[in-house]
């Protein structure tokens, strides 16, 4: 527990006058609860926590903070993995929990308006009750909030079919660093009237202002889906499988994991191997199966990829329960390997670059640290891989962490050579700030700083996240 | 022909040293050819026209222009309808025609890299030759260029299925107002490393810099499509039809036109009415028809909508030729009514707001000018309507134009009340600059100005377009 920077009594009173006395928390409990995200490297130390109950209150808080010279950290579900919602330097935490209304559903427009504090799973359930579907889904859907999803452009496991959060946002309300309210795009599908500031806000991690409301569009329910798991001899073959399957199957997910990952999941989660043949890598394909023709197409893909030597063995789900079991082989990896306190990295390249990228990372890590075991898995159909390096049991944690700092540099240098991204879906926050220049040129970073100054001239909105001013 | 503002001999020499002497045009012919778009309200008067042959030459031209205090108008296919590519104030026209390479096609990534000067139809043909599909399509595809499409976020007739140009851009290279080259997003699907400047550039109409290269993603070919035309008693019924059809048909287009539009097209284009029953409005649905089940679904939609009283009569294409004939009923409207030199406006609201919006515009126009005939048509499934007011034969043109100025104000006031857009797909340019505040708040416009200053501190990039600095 870090020191909680104290606010003067008059400052607390001023905030209480805006949001109500019981909505201002200035003790360690509030700091602990609201002062950080799922990362644990930073000790929370906000000056106070406020829970406004309306957009107008958010504006008033921001205006007060600006006058008082306080920095603001917007706080949603705090499930972030890059320390974007950490308040470790005496910031005022602005909690969006109370802006949690879902309304203005339009069946014709297929849109619905959400307060920033609506939990992702609530939105998903709301859409389902309307016979529709909110397709952005990921492990933290039960506690992440819509505003935070937009602030970080959350991705997940269905991106190959449904895209990122960005693709479902048709309106955003933002309170800028000067307390002005922007009502961006207002649910329009076609709107070419000046710069699309909505897209600038999406993924800006709270540095341009506080997202207070989001209008999302909803999709048709996905219908029946089937899962196929294929064992492949190498990653190049996975690219061939992807190329073969696309255009013939309606892919909803195209994931991969290594034999090292599968072996651990099967051992520790009491799961069955999908088939007897062990393979260096596995592809997991989820695809729409509305009718027999779709299953025949899947079988044709399987046969053709086996014939070509791209696939060693495979299986396809015959029921929803089997599909779920096959998914667990992929989804349980993270939890399974957590006992080895792995070094993790979330990066992307162009899809076709993934095999080369992985080979280079494997080579450099095994050259320097032959005892390091790398577990690969991720959304390979989007070019997004999760790199996990397991800590050797005998290696002290601090030594492991020091070596992983080196690994980061090597990985990001390889990312840079491939023109990839140092953060595929988790954002930059504090965690990857020092590595941003591996993905973005100095000119781009300087432009970002300039844009931030336009939205937030005094630099009070989540300062120090993504880049330093 | 306007005056061509002369450059000093040394300035022409400096430009010739960059691009070659025969690539600098300083006479009226070059001005006439490259100095304006499809709008005709402005007289071209550039100081010169340059045709660089590489990105490096574009950078050099921009840097020279900055030093020499010259404004630049980037020039693509010049098919714009908002005077975004007009050089009427002594600007230097920077023509992208020679940046016309298509390369780096990746079958796994399904992406291809285009110079800004690649003609849309060439890209479409390229994709088709690869067994894929570039789905953004519109009337000017034969001469519009990819860079211009991105600069204006071009839409078109398949937006309900495939989105706008924005949705297909996975990479953009931009030369900023300082001559710096940005390489934005580089073909990545997942990239949450800082602000997505790519989306800021898309639709910025040349005011942030010169788009020199674009990487687009390609789709599966659409397969067999069928067309259904339905006569409806009112616009509310079209909303019901849309709601009924969505989720049951894979809609590729959902267009509408009025009886007034249909009557003129049938008379002047020697086309057949789709069916005998006349109706106030018609919906045109294009939908995927991969199999018998899809056709059965379409017939079920037809029967249900007739039963509900939402549809008076209808027909469905039985062949590709019939589908094309039905499309002509919609696509030939613009050309057909051009003989009445119509006042045109391209606006959008949320889809569900269209009926109310149209009724209000009809009411105010007919109240003040009962002899004005309004022809409505457009992409109603996207909330995008094209308003056309025909000039009464007896009314002198200048009087008609003056009255249409009034109509514009009324229309934009109604757009504003509905939270709509003063420009759905054509952009702002010079044409709608004075109306931008009906769609964007003063705060937003001030933010746009600030962003422009960040990219273009000396204000040389297409100044005066979208907004004045």
pLDDT tens digits, one per residue of B270-326:
999 999 999 999 999 999 998 899 999 999 999 999 999 999 999 999 999 999 999
Cross-chain CB nearest to A164 (options B190, B419, B451): B190
Residue A41's pLDDT is 87
What does R_g of chain A's alpha carbons equal in angstroms? 23
Work out the average pLDDT over A363-379: 96
Residue B157's pLDDT is 85
CATH 3.30.160.110 is held by the domain B225-327: no
Residue B11's pLDDT is 96
Asked whether the predicted pLDDT for residue A417 surpasses 80, the reply is yes
Residue B1's pLDDT is 44
Task: Cite the beta strand spans of A45-129 per DSSP E.
Answer: 48-50, 72-75, 92-95, 102-106, 111-115
Asked whether the predicted pLDDT for residue B55 surpasses 70, the reply is yes
The verdict on a CB contact (< 8 Å) between B454 and A455 is no
- Bridging pattern class, strands A72-75 and A92-95: parallel
Beta-carbon contacts below 8 Å between A and B? 237
With CA atoms as reference, the chain A residue closest to B420 would be: A188
The verdict on a CB contact (< 8 Å) between B180 and A443 is yes
Asked whether the predicted pLDDT for residue B406 surpasses 70, the reply is yes
Topology classification of domain A225-334:
Alpha-Beta Plaits (3.30.70)
Strand partners, A228: A285, A316
pLDDT tens digits, one per residue of B116-152:
999 999 999 999 999 999 999 998 999 999 999 999 9
The verdict on a CB contact (< 8 Å) between B109 and A350 is yes
The verdict on a CB contact (< 8 Å) between B203 and A180 is no
Cross-chain CB nearest to B451 (options A195, A247, A348): A195
- Cβ pair A91, A112 in contact under 8 A: no
**May I ask the CATH class of domain B9-95?**
alpha beta
The verdict on a CB contact (< 8 Å) between B441 and A183 is yes
Q: At what angle do helices B259-268 and B320-331 cross, to 10 degrees?
A: 110
Q: Which residues of B418-449 are buried (b: 16+ CB within 10 A; e: fewer)?
A: bbbbbbbbbbbbbbbbebbbbbbeeebbebbb
pLDDT tens digits, one per residue of B229-274:
999 999 999 999 999 999 899 999 999 999 999 999 999 999 999 9
pLDDT tens digits, one per residue of B139-187:
899 999 999 999 999 998 899 999 999 999 999 999 999 999 999 999 9
What SS3 state is found at B461? strand
Work out the average pLDDT over B63-67: 98
With a CB cutoff of 8 Å and minimum separation 6, the contacts of A63 are A178, A179
Residue A5's pLDDT is 65
- Copy the structure tokens of residue B404: 């249409």
- Bridging pattern class, strands B169-176 and B209-217: antiparallel
Chain centre to alpha carbon of residue B445: 21
- Copy the structure tokens of residue A164: 């990122």
Work out the average pLDDT over A19-40: 94
Residue B274's pLDDT is 97
Cross-chain CB nearest to B194 (options A183, A436, A454): A436
Work out the average pLDDT over A385-407: 95
Identical fold at B9-95 and B102-217?
A: no
SS (H, E, C) chain B: CCCCCCCCHHHHHHHHHHHCHHHEECCHHHHHHHCCCCCCCCCCCCCEEECCCCHHHHHHHHHHHHHHCCCEEEECCCCCCCCCCCCCCCCEEEECCCCCCEEEEECCCCEEEEECCCEHHHHHHHHHHCCCECCCCCCCCCCCEHHHHHHHCCCCCCHHHHCCHHHHEEEEEEEECCCCEEEECCCCCCCCCCCCHHHHHCCCCCCCEEEEEEEEECECCCCCEEEEEEEECCHHHHHHHHHHHECCECEEEEEEEEHHHHHHHHHHCCCCCCCCCCCCEEEEEEEECCCHHHHHHHHHHHHHHHHCCCCCEEEECCCHHHHHHHHHHHHCHHHHHHHHCCEEEEEECCHHHHHHHHHHHHHHHHHHCCCCEEEEEEEHHHCEEEEEEECCCCCCHHHHHHHHHHHHHHHHHHHHHCCCECCCCCCCCCCCHHHHHHCCCHHHHHHHHHHHHHHCCCCCECCCCCCCC
- Cβ pair A310, A352 in contact under 8 A: no
The verdict on a CB contact (< 8 Å) between A243 and B108 is yes
Rounded to the nearest angstrom, the minimum Cα separation between B204 and chain A is 6
Asked whether the predicted pLDDT for residue A2 surpasses 70, the reply is no
Q: Name the band, by pLDDT with cuts 50, 70 and 90, for residue A305.
A: very high
Cross-chain CB nearest to A424 (options B109, B192, B204): B192
- Cβ pair A32, A88 in contact under 8 A: no
pLDDT > 70 fraction of chain A, expressed in percent and rounded: 99
Residue B40's pLDDT is 84
Count of beta carbons in the 10 Å neighbourhood of residue B459: 16
Give dist(CA B217, CA B409) in Å, integer. Answer: 39
- Copy the structure tokens of residue A306: 């086996």
- Copy the structure tokens of residue B120: 């849309």
B interface mutation test: which of A193, A221, A416 has the most B CBs within 10 A? Answer: A193
Q: Which residues of A touch B153 (CB under 8 A)?
A: 192, 196
Cα dist. A119→A84, A391, B168 in Å? 18, 34, 30
Strand partners, A106: A111
What's the CATH number for B341-428? 3.30.70.2740
With CA atoms as reference, report the closest residue to A281 among A301, A304, A259: A259
What SS3 state is found at A274? coil
Give dist(CA B265, CA B286) in Å, integer. Answer: 19
With CA atoms as reference, the chain B residue closest to A160 would be: B189
Asked whether the predicted pLDDT for residue B4 surpasses 60, the reply is no
Residue B106's pLDDT is 97
Mean pLDDT of chain B: 96
CATH 3.30.465.10 is held by the domain B102-217: yes
Asked whether the predicted pLDDT for residue A247 surpasses 90, the reply is no
Rounded to the nearest angstrom, the minimum Cα separation between A394 and chain B is 35
The verdict on a CB contact (< 8 Å) between B293 and A291 is yes
The verdict on a CB contact (< 8 Å) between B188 and A349 is yes
The verdict on a CB contact (< 8 Å) between B188 and A451 is no
Residue A156's pLDDT is 84
The verdict on a CB contact (< 8 Å) between B425 and A451 is no
Residue A1's pLDDT is 44
pLDDT > 90 fraction of chain A, expressed in percent and rounded: 95
Cα dist. B132→B115, B170, B188, B312 in Å? 19, 16, 19, 38
With CA atoms as reference, the chain A residue closest to B384 would be: A190
Topology classification of domain A341-425:
Alpha-Beta Plaits (3.30.70)
Domain ranges of chain A: 9-95, 102-217, 225-334, 341-425
Residue B247's pLDDT is 84
ipTM computed for the complex? 0.96
Work out the average pLDDT over B353-359: 97
- Cβ pair A57, A91 in contact under 8 A: no
With a CB cutoff of 8 Å and minimum separation 6, the contacts of B362 are B374
Residue A157's pLDDT is 85
With CA atoms as reference, the chain A residue closest to B199 would be: A199
């Amino acid at each position: 527990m870090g020191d909680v920077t104290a606010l003067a009594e008059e400052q607390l009173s001023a905030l209480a006058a805006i949001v109500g006395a019981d909505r201002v928390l200035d003790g360690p409990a509030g700091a602990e609860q609201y002062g950080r995200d799922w990362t644990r490297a930073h000790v929370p130390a906000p000056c106070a926590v406020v829970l406004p109950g309306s957009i107008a209150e958010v504006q008033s808080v921001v205006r007060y903070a600006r006058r008082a010279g306080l920095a603001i950290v917007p706080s949603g579900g705090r499930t972030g993995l890059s320390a974007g919602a950490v308040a470790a330097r005496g910031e005022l935490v602005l909690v969006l929990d109370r802006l949690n209304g879902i309304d203005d559903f339009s069946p014709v427009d297929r849109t619905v308006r959400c307060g920033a504090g609506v939990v992702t799973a609530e939105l998903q359930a709301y859409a389902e009750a309307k016979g529709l579907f909110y397709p952005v889904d990921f492990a933290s859907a039960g506690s992440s909030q819509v505003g935070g999803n937009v602030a970080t452009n959350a991705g997940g496991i269905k991106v190959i079919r449904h895209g990122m959060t960005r693709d479902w946002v048709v309106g955003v309300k933002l309170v800028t660093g000067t307390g002005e309210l922007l009502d961006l795009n207002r649910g329009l599908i076609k709107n070419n009237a000046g710069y699309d500031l909505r897209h600038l806000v999406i993924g800006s991690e709270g540095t341009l202002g506080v997202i207070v409301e989001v209008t999302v569009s909803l999709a048709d329910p996905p219908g029946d889906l089937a899962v196929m798991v294929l064992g492949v001899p190498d990653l190049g073959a996975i690219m061939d499988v992807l190329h073969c399957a696309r255009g013939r199957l309606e892919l909803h997910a195209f994931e991969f994991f290594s034999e090292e990952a599968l072996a651990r999941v099967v051992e520790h989660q009491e799961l069955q191997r999908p088939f007897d043949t062990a393979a260096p890598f596995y592809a997991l394909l989820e695809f729409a199966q509305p009718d027999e023709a779709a299953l025949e197409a899947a079988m044709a893909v399987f046969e053709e990829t086996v014939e070509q030597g791209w696939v060693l063995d495979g299986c396809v789900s015959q029921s929803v329960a089997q599909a779920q079991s096959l998914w667990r082989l992929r989804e349980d990896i993270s939890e399974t390997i957590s006992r080895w306190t792995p070094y993790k990295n979330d990066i992307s390249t162009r899809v076709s670059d993934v095999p080369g990228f992985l080979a280079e990372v494997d080579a450099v890590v095994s050259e320097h640290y032959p005892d390091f075991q790398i577990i690969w898995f991720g959304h390979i159909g989007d070019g997004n891989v999760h790199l996990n390096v397991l800590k050797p049991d005998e290696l002290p944690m601090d030594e492991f962490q020091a070596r992983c700092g080196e690994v980061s540099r090597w990985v990001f240098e390889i990312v840079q050579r491939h023109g990839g991204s140092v953060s595929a879906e988790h954002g930059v926050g504090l965690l990857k700030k020092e590595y941003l220049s591996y993905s973005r040129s100095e000119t781009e970073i300087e432009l970002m700083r300039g844009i931030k100054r336009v939205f937030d001239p005094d630099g009070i909105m989540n300062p120090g996240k993504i880049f330093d001013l």
